Amino acid sequence: MLDRYSTNNIHDARARRLAPIVEAASPRIEAERCLPTDLLAELHDDRLFHMLVPKSAGGEEVDALTFFAAVEAIASGDASAGWCVGQAGGVATVAAYLDQDVAREIFGGRDSVVAWGPNSRDAKAVIAPGGYRVAGRWRFASGSRHSQWLGAHCAVFDADGITPAKDADGRPRDRTMLVPKSSAVITDVWRVMGLKGTGSDSYELNGLFVPEEHTFTRDAPADRRAQGPLYRHFSNFNMFGLAFAGVSLGVAASMLRDFKTLASEKAPQATGFQVLLRDNAVAQSKVAKSHSRLRAARALVIDIYGDLWDKAVRDEAFTLDDRAQMRMASTHAMNEAREVADTLYNAAGATAIFVDQPFERRFRDINSASQQGQAHQANYELVGQAFLGLAPKGRL
């Protein structure tokens, strides 16, 4: 089904080739709380951080489902590695909103990665001659430890630093600033339960001057230079949702694989008999239901994003319903994957709690991933509002 939509399966194949290498590196990723340099070299050699960079900026500019499948494959080896590749891909779409020379400077290098965190309430960009003076603190910059640049989303203020700047429609202006990582103060705060290797640290800028050409407004048609279907119709927000769905499905699929292996080797203690777990009716049912849930959730993602990719190629504008369906598919996939992982963790019994087994790490990783905003239950409310003809009270 994926092949129907995917036009660049070489990247999917590269990711699947790397999956066992990523999995072998997983203990180091966890212990070092970052992606090891040798693994990064492999990911860069296969251009996986450049999948969504426009061709005009030296990138691969793959279709949406190739990106999804590649992230899913990497995450099947290690969730943090998949998360970093997916996060970098979502960020990379903004290269379409920069002058070509600037885009190549920031995104075009062999090991180029840009990291950023979500909007910050105290971030401020004050208009200055030729650019902005920027100050603020941002969190959750996944991939910051192997990035060269950081993004900073800011409210824009007039030169007095007090008056909020307005756009032509009278709305408050916002702008994203791209700055060298060396210009920021980075704080190591990423001591967490799961996704330890993402290095999602905090960073701070203190009055840094940022030239105008290194800034843009996300998804603003007036700023868009690259005109491929990925950039004309999908937002970077859509790509984050697709990426994190891929991460969650990849992790859960690996847990299912490992549970089936365990079931062929382990006898359930509760029965008191030396029969294998695979012969237990409850285990059999859980395996079947887990397969069904993951296949169905994955198929929904492929169906919706695949149809919308076709629509984008035809240069047809997305509707509110289209955006709601993308949010529905990605949120559903993340939650279904987490529930399958929870089921398999419990079904594995005491084996699952040992650090030399793959279950406890993946359990921690997928439950950490599900705390990200793209998985929140509130997303279903927004989708329901759109489906009922109401104006969603949040972003889709």
Q: How far apart are CA 84 and CA 252, in angstroms?
A: 17
Half-sphere exposure of 351 (CA within 13 A, CB side): 20
Could you read off the pLDDT of 317-358 as tens digits, one per residue? 999 999 999 999 999 999 999 999 999 999 999 999 999 888
Q: Who has greater pLDDT, 267 or 52? A: 52
Domain spanning 114-218: which superfamily? Butyryl-CoA Dehydrogenase, subunit A, domain 2 (2.40.110.10)
If you average pLDDT over residues 359-376, what whole number do you get? 95
Distance CA 354, CA 208 (A): 47
pLDDT digits (tens, 9 = 90+) for 168-186: 888 999 999 999 999 999 9
Closest CA to 39 of 195, 126, 118, 146: 146
Position 41 scores a pLDDT of: 98
What pLDDT sits at residue 1? Answer: 37
Residue with tokens 């190549």: 104
What are the residue boundaries of the structural domains of the chain, listed by start? 2-107, 114-218, 234-387
Q: Scan for tokens 């084996």, then name that residue.
A: 351
CB atoms within 10 A of CB 91: 29
Evaluate if residue 308 carries a pLDDT over 60: yes
Is the pLDDT confidence value at 5 over 50?
Answer: no
Q: What is the mean pLDDT of residues 51-72?
A: 96
167 against 324, higher pLDDT = 324
> In this prediction, what percent of the chain has a pLDDT beyond 70?
96
Backbone angles phi, psi at 155, to 5 degrees: -75, 140
- Sign of the CA dihedral with 387 first, then 392, 394, and 396 last: positive
pLDDT at 209 over 60: yes
Q: Is the dihedral of CA 253, 254, 260, 262 positive or negative?
A: negative
CATH 3.10.20.600 fits 234-387, yes or no: no
State the residue for tokens 């200055």.
128
Task: Look at residue 266 in the predicted model and tell me its pLDDT.
Answer: 72
For residue 275, pLDDT beyond 80: no
What is the β-pairing status of strands 174-180 and 185-187?
unpaired
- At 316, is the secondary structure helix, strand, or coil? coil
Averaged pLDDT score across all residues of the chain: 94
DSSP code per residue over 234-252: --HHHHHHHHHHHHHHHHH
Domain range 2-107, its CATH number among 3.30.70.141, 1.10.540.10, 3.60.21.10, 3.40.50.720:
1.10.540.10
What pLDDT, on a 0 to 100 scale, did the predictor assign at position 45? Answer: 96
pLDDT band at 35 (very low <50, low <70, confident <90, very high): very high
Please tell me whether residue 149 adopts helix, strand or coil conformation: strand
Q: How far is CA 23 from CA 67, 69, 256, 370, in A?
A: 19, 17, 15, 21
Q: What is the mean pLDDT of residues 33-56?
A: 97
